[in-house]
Structures are given as structure tokens and as C-alpha cells.
């Protein structure tokens, strides 16, 4: 059974930092592209950052220079380091893994940035 469990969300002030984690089980993690998405009520889920199997990363323009995605295949974990947080970063953050023709989602973790 595949499971993705996100953690690390919470309430933070503007300009603060948080590190999200997503631990995967039930898959050969190293063979999957891993993405972080975010979603606010009434809006579509937005791709925030992605890391491929070779470690290449891409970011949404809105988070470039502030967020860093990384992965530790030995721990089957992906991280999203978020710095210089803004109120518009407030959202539920989800990790997604894609590979071997399948995609899986975590349950999400809430990030709230207060001004």
C-alpha cells in the first residue's frame, strides 16, 4: 500500500521559514518524480516545485529564490524548505509522486502565513 505523509506545516509570520517533509512508503521512491503542490479554497491546485529522479529541480515563478525542494532517496523523503514566506503562500501543501505510469498524493499539510 502506497502512503505519502506530509508534515511540517503550521502558522508562521511573514518573512519566516518552514520546512515541509513528505515521507513515502510502498514505492521505490528513487524512481519517482516528486512534486509539491499547493491549493487554497476555490482555486486549482498549483505546482510549486518539482524534483526529478536525477535531482533536477524546477520552481513556480512565485517561489523561485525562496523555496528549495530536495530529496533523500535513502529515507524516501522529499523536503520543501520555504523561506521569506508571504501571506500569499498560505495554502494546503501536498506532495505528489509520479512514475511507472502511476501518481500518488499525500493528505496535505496546512501552511498559514500571518501578516
Binned at pLDDT 50, 70 and 90, residue 75 comes out as very high
Q: What is the pLDDT of residues 5-35, one digit of tens each?
A: 999 999 999 999 999 999 999 999 999 999 9
22-59: string of b/e by CB count within 10 Å (b at 16+)?
Answer: bbbeebebeebbbbbbbeeeeeeeeebbbbeeeeeeeb
- Give the model's pLDDT for residue 106: 97
Name the nearest CA neighbour of 38 among 20, 52, 53. Answer: 20
Rounded Cα distance, 85 and 113, in Å: 7
Binned at pLDDT 50, 70 and 90, residue 1 comes out as very high
Amino acid at each position: 500500500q502506497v502512503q505519502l505523509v506530509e508534515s511540517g506545516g503550521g502558522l508562521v509570520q511573514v518573512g519566516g521559514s518552514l520546512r515541509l517533509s513528505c515521507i513515502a512508503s510502498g514505492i521505490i521512491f528513487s524512481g519517482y518524480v516528486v512534486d509539491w503542490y499547493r491549493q487554497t479554497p476555490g482555486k486549482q491546485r498549483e505546482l510549486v516545485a518539482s524534483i526529478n529522479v536525477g535531482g533536477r529541480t524546477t520552481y513556480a515563478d512565485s517561489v523561485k529564490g525562496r523555496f528549495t525542494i530536495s530529496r533523500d532517496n535513502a529515507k524516501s523523503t522529499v523536503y520543501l524548505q520555504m523561506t521569506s514566506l508571504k501571506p500569499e503562500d498560505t495554502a494546503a501543501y501536498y506532495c505528489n509522486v509520479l512514475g511507472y505510469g502511476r501518481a500518488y498524493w499525500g493528505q496535505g499539510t496546512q501552511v498559514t502565513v500571518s501578516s
